[in-house]
Amino acid sequence: MSLDKEEIQTYDVTDLTSLEKLEPVRIRPGMYIGSTGSKGLHHCIWEILDNSIDEIANGYGDRAEIILNKDKSVTIIDNGRGIPTGMHPIKHKSGVEMVFTELHTGGKFNNKNYKTSGGLHGVGAAVVNALSEWLLVEIKQKGKIFTQRFEYAYDDELKRLMPGTPVSELSIVGETKITGSKITFMPDKDVFTTLEFNSDFIDERLQELAFQNKGITLVFNDKRKEGNEVKEYHSERGLLDFIDYLNESKTLLHKNPIFFQGEREINGLSLFGEVCMQFTDSTTEYIASYVNNIPTTESGTHETGFKTGMTRAFKEGAKKLNLLKEKDKDKEFEGDDLREGMTAIVRIKISNPIFEGQTKSKLGNNEAYSIMNELCYTKILEWIEDNKEMATNIINNAVSAASRRDKIKKINEAERKKVGKGASPLAGKIAVCTLKNAEFTEFIVVEGDSAGGSAKQARDRRFQTIMPSKGKIMNTEKQKLENVLASEELKIFNTAIGTGVLDNYSEKNLKYGKIIILSDADVDGYHIRTLWMTFIYRYMRPLIANGHLYMGMPPLYKVYKQTKNGEVAKYAYSDEQLAKTKKEIGKGAFIQRYKGLGEMNPDQLWETTLNPTTRTLQQVTIEDAAKAEKMVSLLMGDVVAPRKNYMYKYAEF
């Protein structure tokens, strides 16, 4: 480097910063809980709840409860052994204080206290404490009731405000004959962008946990609502109840699910695997996988091992049943063909899982792949021997799916040749941006021709491409892939995005970094968003997994008033936000209720939904899309009873 001395910025040891105690969590919360939005907020509940479930899963206790309190705090209660309250001989701190104030402190680093567990790094409880305004611990143990409180408060040792600081000693406040833990925490509004817990998220997670841990009781008590809404979760059949729940709105191809379990050990790693499968007349697969009760939404080695073992078993079974011979090249099927219409739950318990990241959404153990591959191959071959007729039907369906896949490949090649000859299917259908770099470009689907026209005028032509959508796209619930690809709007979308679908999906061909669905903030708009999410989840899932799919959030209200300096206006995106916005605008405010995007002029559309600096986007996760897919199956499938139950529960008569 050849710079003048005065141009060189000094850099020495005094520029180095060392973060103390729980400061790393407070400075970089995303490293520990994924985000500071709704997903991260709920992750705090899962961190505490997972500790309770670990106790129960290892035979200590049989009940856990989540309470959403009116003041927006959360309480998690269990009847396990309780966090150790004794004084540590070296640290000279109680076990409670260590767990809640020190990272990488816990009882799960060896297999002495927990054969399997979801909490591995010893950071969960301390992370929640660090990100809370205050946290109160109550432990019932040794016939006594112990309590201790932590706050974002002044630390006498460091002489500054610090997260998760003990503001009281661990003290005895009563006597008891039972054991357990009760943790109450208030998420810090200075950390999280929202403090609103979603009862549907919690409901679904507790339901899944009850299915995975048959015989236990879980309770959800939402005290935010009038009359306290309390729901209890309990399952006696485990995964068999779970698969009934997942397939309740689908038409089954066989009544009795394929169910098996087994234990294996490799390289000193012990694993218990449990699989429940059932085939439906759907055209796509759905796999729910878990490791030590933690949902692995980004799959992992256990799920890959399951798929490999299953494919090997059915290919071997096809030969034994004389359905597939060496010369039958036209009848060869792959794993994707075999899994068409399959719903599966893959659950393992493993002694030392290796997760990719603190949020534990993907398993990395190579041993899990080997064990699940061998277990599934062996058990499914046994099932084929005992169920030859049903196995034949599944294999024949896979052969048909392979034939359709080959036909679709030819259709795609023909479409590419048309485009190569200049016959572009996009001409006049979308307003294309000028930039070609996917890192900066956005593809925005806009509901309605009127709103689409306004969006074309409002957009930034450099990086925003607009596709007006006529309304509700095809419901892909029961459609064969060739029909989906032939749909005019979906064909335009697929061609514009550039990735291809299913096996042909290629991330390197993606033309846009953000795919945004923009629809009205009403029931029809919700339906449209759900259909788009379902289509992309089924046919272009990596768009979601890789963080490319977003939902635009149009405002419900414009709050404004005239002043001597002109109009002052703000937008509200919910009824709750409306009251706050009215206060901000002040006396004499007018309210305009938007019925749809088409009511906005181009300037308003730009300001509220297109401008990257002022708009609100919600990134779609795999969990969001899976729920949308289930909702489409429920509301549009052939099975009537679940749809009636849903309507009676939620409709307003």
Residue pLDDT, tens place only, 446-483: 988 788 888 899 899 999 999 988 777 877 766 777 77
Please say if the pLDDT value at position 614 is more than 50: yes
In this structure, of 65-74, 235-244, 304-313, 614-623, the range with the lowest mean pLDDT score is: 614-623
pLDDT in tens, 72-128: 999 999 999 999 999 988 888 999 999 999 887 765 445 555 455 555 443 589 999
Q: Is the pLDDT of residue 189 over 60?
A: yes
> 27: closest CA among 146, 127, 118, 108?
127
- The closest of 91, 111, 113, 112 to 101, measured between CA atoms, is 91
Per-residue model confidence (pLDDT) at position 650:
43
Q: Is the pLDDT of residue 644 over 60?
A: no
pLDDT digits (tens, 9 = 90+) for 502-557: 777 889 999 999 999 998 877 788 888 888 888 888 888 889 888 899 998 888 88
- Asked if the model's pLDDT at residue 251 lies above 80, the reply is yes
Alpha helices in 248-360 (DSSP H): 301-320, 335-338
Average pLDDT over all residues of the chain = 85
Check if the beta carbon of residue 466 is closer than 8 Å to that of residue 444. yes
Lowest-confidence range among 379-393, 452-466, 584-598? 584-598
Q: Are 266 and 347 in contact (CB under 8 A)?
A: no
- What is residue 11's predicted lDDT score, i.e. its pLDDT? 67
- Enumerate the CATH 3.30.230.10 domain ranges in the chain, comma separated: 239-408
Any alpha helices (H) in 387-430, and if so which ranges?
388-420
What pLDDT is attached to residue 597?
A: 82
pLDDT of residue 553: 85
Residue 650: count other Cβ atoms within 10 Å of its Cβ: 7
Provide the pLDDT for residue 15: 66
500: confidence class by pLDDT, cuts 50, 70, 90 = confident
Mean pLDDT of 556-572: 85
Question: In Å, what is the CA distance from 140 to each residue of 84, 96, 171, 519?
Answer: 10, 12, 12, 51
CA dihedral 615, 621, 624, 629 (to 10 degrees): 120
Whether 271 shows a pLDDT value over 70: the answer reads yes
CATH class of 239-408: alpha beta
pLDDT of residue 121: 41
Domain at 23-234, CATH homologous superfamily: Histidine kinase-like ATPase, C-terminal domain (3.30.565.10)
How far apart are the C-alpha atoms of 572 and 4, rounded to whole Å? 53
Residues of the chain with CATH 3.30.565.10: 23-234
Average pLDDT over residues 248-253: 87
Which pLDDT score is estimated for 574? Answer: 78
Looking at the chain, the domain(s) classified CATH 3.40.50.670 span: 426-554+619-650
pLDDT score of 567 more than 80: yes
222 has a pLDDT exceeding 90: yes
In this structure, are residues 382 and 309 in contact, taking their beta carbons and an 8 Å threshold? Answer: no
Candidates 3.40.190.10, 2.30.40.10, 3.40.50.670, 3.40.1280.10; CATH matching 426-554+619-650? 3.40.50.670
